[in-house]
Amino acid sequence: MTSLRPPVFLALGVAGCAHGPTPDSAAPTDAAARAGITAQHEAWREAIIAGDAARLARLFTDDGVLLSLNGSVAKGRGEVQKVLEDTVRHARYLSGGFTIETVDLQGDLAIEIAAFTWDRSLDGGPPTRPQKGHALAVWHRQPDGTWLLRAWSAKYDPRN
């Protein structure tokens, strides 16, 4: 949180321009980034409970990277979607969601630590009961102001 160089640079640059940027190209505020990321968390929650891997994959940039729980590193939306299809084939997500732990805004990138809790049914089995975990996410703000995942790595905490 302490490193504010990119926004400061951008602010300096904007100050030096006669016309300034359009609203969508302005440096995002911390609050705006948190709101945008929270909206994507909700989109993720809805998509994974629906078992919709294509919707989940659309939360990634075209060249997004997913470090999955099975040890694979998927690069690009196509590979990411395949991994997510495998995930929702084996796990039905019953309830849960994300909360933001920290966000470090670096220009049009936001580095987030998220906490999550999911109650799942694995391969048709009984609910696992809520399991907690943490994720590191690198979000990239798009020209339309939405935030997409440039990189995502998540894991469940040891049984809690």
* Token code pair at residue 19: 């016309």
Among 49, 88, 94, 136, binds another protein (CB under 8 A): 136
Quick one: 8 or 54, whose CB is closer to another protein? 8
Q: How many CB atoms neighbour CB 65 within 10 A?
A: 18
Among 16, 23, 124, 126, binds another protein (CB under 8 A): 16
Is residue 31 within the footprint of another protein (CB under 8 A)? no
Query: CB neighbours of 102 closer than 8 A, spacing ≥ 6?
Result: 1, 112, 113
- Smallest separation (angstroms) from another protein to the CB of 104: 6
Q: Which of 48, 56, 59, 85 is nearest to 70 (CA)?
A: 85
Quick one: 2 or 124, whose CB is closer to another protein? 2
Is residue 71 within the footprint of another protein (CB under 8 A)? yes
73: left (phi over 0), alpha (psi -120 to 50) or beta: beta
- Smallest separation (angstroms) from another protein to the CB of 73: 5
Is residue 62 within the footprint of another protein (CB under 8 A)? no
35, 99, 101, 106, 146 from 28: Cα distances, Å: 11, 20, 19, 9, 11
Strand partners, 112: 103, 137
Interface ranges with another protein (CB under 8 A): 1-3, 5-6, 9-10, 12-14, 16-19, 21, 63, 65, 67, 69-71, 73, 75, 101-102, 104, 106-107, 109, 111, 113, 134-136, 138, 150-153, 155, 157-158, 160
